[in-house]
Amino acid sequence: MRILGITVGRRPHVLAGAYALDALEDADLSRFERHLLRCRTCPDEVRGFAATATELGLAAAVPPPPALKAAVLGAVGALSSARDVDEAIAAVLSAPDARIVSGATSAGGTATVVASKSRATMVFTSTGLPALPPTSVYEVWFIGSGGARRAGLVPPLPSGVAGTATPTTVPVLASGLASGDVVGVTVEPAGGTESPTTTPIVVLTL
């Protein structure tokens, strides 16, 4: 059908329905999305069609398997704590009194601490530490006048990474930094210990 020389079937407008049902393929999709930007009536029509599609979706509802909820909420919890840790790390790194200290370890590689005394928090990372057998772990300590306090365990690198490059360990965030503390690292049995059982491979003075 032709009106004023325009083939009606070619007007992108008519694609609004297929668009709302995700039924457009690439070329039509970009054509319609361009059209949407300058079409006055399309956005309302698309909104109404999307709401209509929602009704079709609601009509298809079935109870999901219980395992889905556990999986989704579990993943959300993990994502959320990762985000919290990232935010806390970012807060330490951007603290006005953030101080960065690096040092070579006696086992090889470099240990780095970014510490904020005002936040009593530090972030520990390392590059090039030798991989340990699964029975051992690198443990980080706050060492002060009262002795050593646990600051955290360095997550082991994925197997296969060791020796191939100078792998960087996942940042360890630890709070409880006290005035006068230094930071030390020891090799401990997997799972860590309450107090160091070996000589530190590095001690960083903040």
Partner 1 sequence: MEPIRPGPSSPAAEPGDIDVGALLTLVAGGDQTAFETVYDRVAPPVFGLIKRVLRDSAQAEEVAQEALLEVWRTAGRFDPARGSGMTWVLTIAHRRAVDRVRSETASAQREARVATADVAAGDEVAETVAASLEAERVRHCLGGLTELQRESITLAYYSGYSYPQVATALGVALGTIKTRIRDGLKRLRDCLGVSW
Nearer to partner 1, 77 or 191 (CB): 77
* The 147-153 sheet, strands edge to edge: 147-153, 136-144, 182-189, 202-205
How far apart are CB 60 and partner 1 at their closest, in Å? Answer: 4
SS3 content of the chain, % helix, strand, coil (to 5): 35, 30, 40
| Measured distance CA(13)–CA(8) in Å, rounded | 9
Selected range binding partner 1 among 77-85, 105-113, 148-156, 193-201, rule: CB under 8 A: 77-85
Nearer to partner 1 (CB atom), residue 9 or residue 158: 9
Backbone angles phi, psi at 91, to 5 degrees: -65, -40
Judged by CB under 8 A, the stretch of 41-49, 127-135, 180-188, 198-206 that binds partner 1 is 41-49
Kindly state whether residue 199 participates in binding partner 1, applying the rule CB under 8 A: no
* Contact stretch for partner 1 (CB under 8 A) within 20-28, 96-104, 136-144, 197-205: 20-28
| Residue numbers 79-118 binding partner 1 by CB under 8 A | 79-80, 83
Nearer to partner 1, 71 or 100 (CB): 71
Query: Measured between alpha carbons, how far is 124 from 89 in angstroms, rounded to an integer?
Result: 10
Q: Which element (helix H / strand E) includes 42? A: helix 42-59
